[in-house]
Structure 1
Amino acid sequence: MDHTDMGINTSGGACGTCGGLTYVISRQGDRAQARICDCSVRCSVCEGRGHMLVEREETFSKKVGARKYEVLVPCACTLRTRRVARYNEVGLPGVVAHASFENYRSAKPEQDRARSVAMHFAHQFDKKGPNTGFILSGPVGTGKTHLLAATLAHLVLEVGMVARYVEISLLYATIRRGFQEGKSGGEIIGPLSEVEVLAIDELGKGRGSPFEMETLDELIARRYNANRTTLFATNYSLEPERKNARPTNGYHSTEDTKSALKGNELLNERVGERIYSRLCEMCTFVELPKDTPDRRRTRQEMESRTSQPTVAGRSNR
C-alpha cells in the first residue's frame, strides 16, 4: 500500500488508520482509490449479510389503527460499500489522494476564503438541488485541485452523490482517441453531462482549436441547461478587464513580452463570452492573487536548503 494511505480526516474514533471514518483513501498508480478500512470489513450490525430487519409502524386504516411490521433494508455497510465504489469511479488524480479541508495550507487570506467556499459548498450541499458551484482561479501550485478533491471526496463518501473529475486537456485527448476507435464525442461527453456533480480542472487550457471550443461549449451548455452542479479550477484570471501587461520602457525580449501577456490573459478570452456568461450564473467566483506562492516550489526549495551538505564543518545558511 502507498505511504499516503489515510482517511480524509483524523477527527477521532477508535481506529488509528481511518480515524473512525470506516474507509481510507490511498494513491494507487495515477488514481486516488478508496477502500473499506480493516476495522470495518466485517460489519458488527448485520454480521456480513448486507441487510437488516427494521421495525416500522404505520396506520393503514382508521379502523385497524397503527400496526407494526418489519421490513428488510440495506445495512449501513452496504451503503458505505456503494459509496466507496462510486468514489473509485470519480477519476481523481493519485497525487491528491491525501487532500482534505483539514490539511489544506494557506499563505494568503484569499486561500482561506477559497477553502471556506469549498467547505461550505460540500457541507451544505442540498441533494434535492439546485446548488451553485464554484470556480477557483489562481497560479499553479496554490491548492485548487486539492480543494476540488476534498470537495468531491466529501460529496461522494459522506453525502452519497455521484461525481466525476476531468482535466480538460486530457478530456480532449480522450475524445480524439475515441474518434480513432469509431466513437463519437457525444458518447464520452454524454455521461459527463448527466453526472450529478462534475469538476473540470485546468479550464482554459489547450490550443483553443474549434474542436476544443465546440467540445467545451457542448459540455457546459448541456450541464447549464439541465441545471447540474459544476465546479471549476483555472490558472486564468477572472478579472473583468485586461491589465496592461506590455512592457513600457527599457529593453524586453519577445519571450518576456509573451510571458507577460500570457500571465495576464483572462479566462473569458480563453473560453469565449458565451461560456463565460454561463459560468457567472453557475458558479461563485474565487480568485487567488498572482503572488500566491507555489506550494510545490516552496516545498522543493525548503527541502533543497535542508539537504545541502555542510562545508568545512560549517552549516550552510
Structure 2
Amino acid sequence: MAVREMAPKANGEACGVCGGRTYVIERRGDQAQARICACSEHCSVCGGRGHVLVEREGEFSQKMGPRRYEVMETCTCTKLRTRIARFDALGLPASAAHANFENYRSYEEAQDRGRSVAMQFAYQYVQGGSSKGYIISGPVGTGKTHLLAATLAHLALELGVRGRYVEISLLYATIRRGFQEGKSGGEIIGPLSEVEVLAIDELGKGRGSPFEMETLDELIARRYNAGRTTLFATNYSLEPERRAMRSAAPSGYRTTDDSRSAAREAELLRERVGERIYSRLCELCTFVEFPKETPDRRRPRQEMNAPMHHAAGNGRPQGR
C-alpha cells in the first residue's frame, strides 16, 4: 500500500498510531476493517462540514476576460471516509488485514515477479479504464492471498475503487444458504458482477459439481462481457497441458501414496474449471506461477512456536 506523507502532530512529529496515513486497519471478527485515526478525526480544513470553498479562475468570454469565482468541493476528510467505507466493503479476511506490498516476503524469483505484477497493476490502475487482471498459482502458504489483499487495499484506500474479495468455496456456501432463504444465485452473484475489481481466491477449489461450475461460469461470463477486471489466486497449475508422468523407481514399484501425490501434482486449473473459463482467463489475466517447491510461509512460524515435548512420566523437557 502506498504510504502517504506523514501527517504531523502538534509537536511536529508524525502520528505514532497511523504513521501518517490518517487511517488504521484492524481485525474485527473474521474481517479486516479500517477506521479514521484519532489524529485525523477533527478536520482542520473544513471544520467538520465535509466540504470547502475553493477559488478558481476561468475565462467565460473574451470580452470579460479571466474571472475569479468560488466553487464548493468535497473536503479530503469526506474522501477519506468514502475510501474507508470502500475498504470495509471489500470483505478481506482478518488474516490479511495488514497485508501490503512492503511486508510481502518472497523466497523465490517467481514470488518477486508475482509481487511486481500485483504492484504494477495496483499502482498503474486507471479507474473506469480496461485493465488486464492477473492470476497467481502456487502451493498453499506462499502469499497469494496476501497479494490479492494488498492490491485491493491499495485500490480502495488510495484510489477509492469499489472492489470485493471472495473465497470461491465460501461463495458457493453463501449461495446454497440463499436458496434456503428463497434467494436465487443471480441475486448473490449480481453485486459481484458489478464491482469494478473482483478478487477470486482459491479458484478451482470444490467438488466440481454442475452447480459450482455453472455458478463460476456465470460470474466470470458476466464480468468478461462487461469488460470488468478480475484477479485470481489458485493452488492449481496454470500449465496448459499435463506433463509426462515422472518415471517410477527402477523397480517399477509405486506405492499408493506415490500415485496420489503424482495425481495431485498433475492437477491443472484448466481441468478444474473447464476449457471455456480457462480460455477467458488467458485473455483476461497475466499468468504468474510459483514453483511447487516454494516453501509454506506459515510452517516456519508454527514450527518455531511449537510447544516443547515432555518425556513420559517425569514431566521434564527432553534434551534439545
TM-score, normalised with respect to structure 2? 0.91
SS of aligned partner of 2:306: helix
- 1:44-193, aligned counterparts within 5 Å? 44-193=44-193
Structure 2 counterpart of 1:22: 22
- Deviation at residue 94 of structure 1 after TM alignment: 0.2
Looking at structure 1, the residues matched to 280 and 106 of structure 2 have their Cα atoms a distance apart, in angstroms, of 29
- Whether the 8 Å contact between 1:28 and 1:94 is mirrored in structure 2 is yes
2:276 to 227, 252, 274: 274
- Deviation at residue 251 of structure 1 after TM alignment: 3.9
- Deviation at residue 246 of structure 1 after TM alignment: 6.5
- Whether the 8 Å contact between 2:309 and 2:318 is mirrored in structure 1 is no
- Deviation at residue 12 of structure 1 after TM alignment: 4.9
- Deviation at residue 98 of structure 1 after TM alignment: 1.1
| Deviation per residue, 1:7-37 (Å, 9 max, x gap) | 9869855111111110111111100001111
Looking at structure 1, the residues matched to 137 and 16 of structure 2 have their Cα atoms a distance apart, in angstroms, of 36
Gaps of 5+ in 1: 1-6
Amino acid at match of 1:75: C
The number of residue pairs the alignment matches comes to 309
Looking at structure 2, the residues matched to 176 and 312 of structure 1 have their Cα atoms a distance apart, in angstroms, of 51
- Whether the 8 Å contact between 2:310 and 2:316 is mirrored in structure 1 is no
- 1:267-306, aligned counterparts within 5 Å? 267-304=269-306
**Shift in CA distance, 312/91, structure 1 to aligned 2, threshold 3 Å:** closer
- Deviation at residue 84 of structure 1 after TM alignment: 0.3
Looking at structure 2, the residues matched to 309 and 8 of structure 1 have their Cα atoms a distance apart, in angstroms, of 47
Looking at structure 2, the residues matched to 259 and 283 of structure 1 have their Cα atoms a distance apart, in angstroms, of 29
**Shift in CA distance, 117/245, structure 1 to aligned 2, threshold 3 Å:** same
SS of aligned partner of 2:24: strand
- Whether the 8 Å contact between 2:310 and 2:318 is mirrored in structure 1 is no
Gaps of 5+ in 2: 8-13
Structure 2 counterpart of 1:265: 267
**Shift in CA distance, 64/9, structure 1 to aligned 2, threshold 3 Å:** closer
% identical aligned pairs = 69
Looking at structure 1, the residues matched to 5 and 99 of structure 2 have their Cα atoms a distance apart, in angstroms, of 15
Looking at structure 1, the residues matched to 316 and 76 of structure 2 have their Cα atoms a distance apart, in angstroms, of 63
SS of aligned partner of 1:304: coil
SS of aligned partner of 2:233: strand
Amino acid at match of 2:280: R
Structure 2 counterpart of 1:4: none
Amino acid at match of 1:257: S
Looking at structure 1, the residues matched to 300 and 5 of structure 2 have their Cα atoms a distance apart, in angstroms, of 28
**Shift in CA distance, 11/66, structure 1 to aligned 2, threshold 3 Å:** closer
1:256 to 258, 270, 279: 258
Looking at structure 1, the residues matched to 29 and 317 of structure 2 have their Cα atoms a distance apart, in angstroms, of 42
- Deviation at residue 73 of structure 1 after TM alignment: 1.1
Greater shift, 207-216 or 63-72, is seen at 63-72
- Whether the 8 Å contact between 2:310 and 2:317 is mirrored in structure 1 is no
- Whether the 8 Å contact between 2:100 and 2:150 is mirrored in structure 1 is yes
- Whether the 8 Å contact between 1:9 and 1:100 is mirrored in structure 2 is no
**Shift in CA distance, 40/278, structure 1 to aligned 2, threshold 3 Å:** same
- Deviation at residue 79 of structure 1 after TM alignment: 0.4
TM-score, normalised with respect to structure 1? 0.92
Amino acid at match of 2:284: M
**Shift in CA distance, 22/247, structure 1 to aligned 2, threshold 3 Å:** same
Looking at structure 1, the residues matched to 196 and 20 of structure 2 have their Cα atoms a distance apart, in angstroms, of 27
Amino acid at match of 1:285: F
Alignment RMSD: 2.2
Greater shift, 102-111 or 63-72, is seen at 63-72
Amino acid at match of 2:172: Y
1:214 aligns with 2:196: no
- Whether the 8 Å contact between 2:83 and 2:157 is mirrored in structure 1 is yes
SS of aligned partner of 2:147: helix
Amino acid at match of 2:283: E
- Whether the 8 Å contact between 1:106 and 1:112 is mirrored in structure 2 is yes
Looking at structure 2, the residues matched to 107 and 41 of structure 1 have their Cα atoms a distance apart, in angstroms, of 40
| Deviation per residue, 1:137-160 (Å, 9 max, x gap) | 000000000000000000000011
